Chains A and B, each alone.
Chain A
């Protein structure tokens, strides 16, 4: 039973990841990401990490991806990317090489090692069953790790403030981004079809915030 659930969830996860990789439109990619996150959430449930599964869905799939979609809508960055051509020479082979190597190394490291992971049992707290998970997690967080929690709260606050500052509307006209020769292959918009305007190899004219 577990195996079946696992395999199905694994298939969902990997399909979603593959979709993110090859989706031409960002909206499609976001949706595929949601698929992956759901699959991972199921896998969490399988491991009795019920709280995390819920948080995964609520925060990750619910908030973060929505944020993605908001930005896509806001900026109109929903133009399709031309996946056929790659402007940087050798990037694809390098990417394939890196991916394959990473996969190989990780598999070796995680699976072939004789001893396996050797964490001390009960270093943090004992793991309970699924129903008890939230309570135990809350206990551990707010007693042993309360400082870390406070810090993450501060971190979130800072992130919010930073985001607000960064994304403010600017007064006055914006300086255009400098165009570099390499980036001649921009995203091709099937509708508009405009390319780079000038080909000067200049420096940024100062970024305004």
Chain B
């Protein structure tokens, strides 16, 4: 079975090809089922390979299946081959498993979309690229998959490309990734230069034997880290992930939660011997980058109103945890968290997709509230996902996060502190999300700020109209009294008209004053309908229409994956329970791939219990504060939702300004350099040839006597030469 491991990427590739070339005839649900079937087949193949690998002896758990030679270029030969070892098969298992669930979900989510078939074709292509990335037995194949997932990410993010913003988001993702890809490419070049090969087996075995210079390993590790930053959305290359939420939610779940973004961590785990041989500051850099990004993203997620943006920043934050683990030498913890994160983050994303689907595309949490009455299954599974990510035992996220925090403490208490604060914030913002979405009052029918403005404007217009009418009546009465026909009646009418005019003016001034003084409508009307004031009857019609809106629960194709993922989120922690080496199954399983580079905890069990308790306490604090702020009105929630956090620390704006300003100047300079200097150098060769030919062609004037002169000169030259060589 292991030599059939090529079936694992072959199924989605076949699915992609069939859907691309024969899909038009397949029609809507069939295309989806075909793609899902391909993923399921891939999952079964992985399971078979996994089963066989597990049956092998511990020291024999590495199988390379070469298909054919891909690049025979002199010293560099690269094969298309698959490396089936515990790490790659573990990744394949959850990629194919979660992927199959997401494919099933998409059948319901994308129902009725015009690009249904295209969506599944792209999803399958993505799965193929991701599996090539994971299963490839050399850096170049991994890079092929790396680029492939980047390209598919672009295709899928800008799936609804007719909207300019979506297209831009896709481009942003691709370009930001490209920066990371540069680092990866340099690493490949250096690897080839150092080892003469790019195959993992050779490179890692050679490195583990200790024959690589520290400086070389440092450079390679750093360059791979740059690539990982790009793909796994760490600071400063995280900018694309929040924008990538423009794509359909299953895309966000699959690509930006469970699979593609974990490629960076996979890569770093794969090359752990190189990181171990690098300078000491490299893992420290990785750890601090991860911790910093985790905290950074968590602070931003606190103030977001779009449900998917919260989850996006949450993903960035959790990826930061994984990088923190890698930097602390805790590769098993990183992989563990990767697996559990795949489960609960996919669950959360799919759940949010279900909510968005039920709310007809509205993503603003200000319009949600109390949805658990309408969408019980979604709510129930979402709560499980929430508990998992908040680190509540015994759900999966607690075990993995706690493991990472333990290793962080082992490395540096400061790192642990950052991780703990991030955990508190994670619990806080996730609780906030759950409360805003599923609990409290249903705010969909509330009037919105722009609608209230419209109502006030209407009231003001009406009051102005009344004043104008009263003035006209007054003028009429004055004219009537000056006409002087019916004195007492006319005088009465004039008094009445004057009074009416004054009343209307006073009324109008009151409304103006009220409008000027009216309080700002709260962003989140958590506890009661917002006070609209005297203009309640002037609200536009959409407000009334919305009060009839009932969000609906999702079909079974969407609900089933939610349930499955919820179960996995509950039970996922069982693969690596820290109580004894027997329960640390993941660690034993991954051991052959780690070459002994896994750091050992030097803290005692008592410290571990204390750390665990502190982590749980931190999570509890986050939950309690969020509940107090959003459900119980004990804390003012707007204190947490600072505008600078909502604006993501203005970092995106900084980058845009830089790129549009000096960045653009730099790019244009580079482009000019290319067209003038580089192209000019090439063209100058042609120009030189032309000039020289122009010079030489003067010799060919077609005149016999010139040629005769040439012969004469040549003859003289020959004679001179011969004479100079004879002796006299």
A105 and B728 CA atoms in complex are apart in Å by 13
Interface residues on A, range: 10 to 19
Interface size on B, residues (CB 8 A): 15
A22 in the interface, Cβ–Cβ < 8 Å? Answer: no
Q: How far is the CA of A167 from the CA of B712 in the complex (A)?
A: 30
Chain B interface, >50% SS class: helix
- Chain A positions within 8 Å of B414 at CB level: none
The reply to whether the CB of A88 lies closer than 8 angstroms to some CB of chain B is yes
A98 to B719, Cβ gap below 8 A? no
Residues facing B in A77-117 (CB within 8 A) are 88, 91, 94-95, 97-98, 101-102, 105-106, 108-109, 112-114
- Stretch in contact with the other chain, from B337-345, B593-601, B703-711: B703-711
Q: Is A182 an interface residue (CB 8 A)?
A: yes
Q: Is the CB of B709 within 8 A of A94?
A: yes
CB–CB B703/A109 < 8 A: no
The answer to whether B716 touches A102, judged by C-beta atoms less than 8 angstroms apart, is yes
The answer, yes or no, to whether B604 is at the interface (CB within 8 Å) is: no
Q: State A199–B448 Cα separation when bound (angstroms).
A: 89
Asked whether, in the complex, the Cβ of A101 is within 8 Å of the Cβ of B716, the reply is yes
Whether A71 sits at the interface, judged by CB under 8 Å, is no
Given contacts A88-B705, A88-B706, A105-B723, contact A113 B728 (CB under 8 A): yes
Q: When A105-B720, A108-B723, A109-B723 are in contact, do A98 and B706 touch as well, CB less than 8 Å?
A: no
In-complex Cβ contact of A105 among B702, B703, B713, B719 (8 A): B719
Query: Do A182 and B703 contact each other (CB < 8 Å), given the known contacts A91-B709, A98-B712, A102-B712?
Result: yes
Asked if A180 is at the interface (CB within 8 A of a chain B CB), the reply is: yes
Cβ of B726 < 8 Å from any Cβ of A?
A: yes
From the candidates B705, B716, B728, name the one contacting A112 in the complex (CB within 8 A). Answer: B728
> Known interface pairs A91-B706, A98-B709, A113-B728. Does A105 touch B701 (Cβ–Cβ under 8 Å)?
no
In the assembled complex, the Cα of A94 lies from the Cα of B712 at a distance in Å of 9
Question: Which one of B701, B705, B706, B719 lies within 8 Å of A109 (CB-CB)?
Answer: B719
Contacts of A108 in B (CB 8 A): 723
Complex CA gap A114/B726 in Å reads 11
A101 to B712, CA, bound (A): 10
Residues of A within 8 A of B726 (CB): 113
A10 and B718 alpha carbons, distance in the complex (Å): 29
- Residues from chain B with a CB closer than 8 A to the CB of A105 are 716, 719-720, 723
Bound-state Cα–Cα, A178 to B701, Å: 14
**Interface mask (A157-185 → B, CB under 8 Å = 1, otherwise 0):** 00000000000000000000000101100
> Within 8 Å of chain A (Cβ to Cβ): is B715?
yes
Annotate B684-706 by CB proximity to A: 1 below 8 A, 0 otherwise.
Answer: 00000000000000000111011
Known A98-B716, A182-B703; 6 more pairs at CB < 8 Å: A88-B706, A91-B706, A94-B712, A98-B713, A112-B728, A113-B726
* 22 A-B pairs with C-beta separation under 8 A: A88-B701, A88-B703, A91-B705, A91-B709, A94-B709, A94-B713, A95-B709, A95-B712, A98-B712, A98-B713, A98-B716, A101-B720, A102-B712, A102-B716, A102-B719, A106-B719, A108-B723, A109-B723, A113-B728, A114-B728, A180-B702, A183-B703
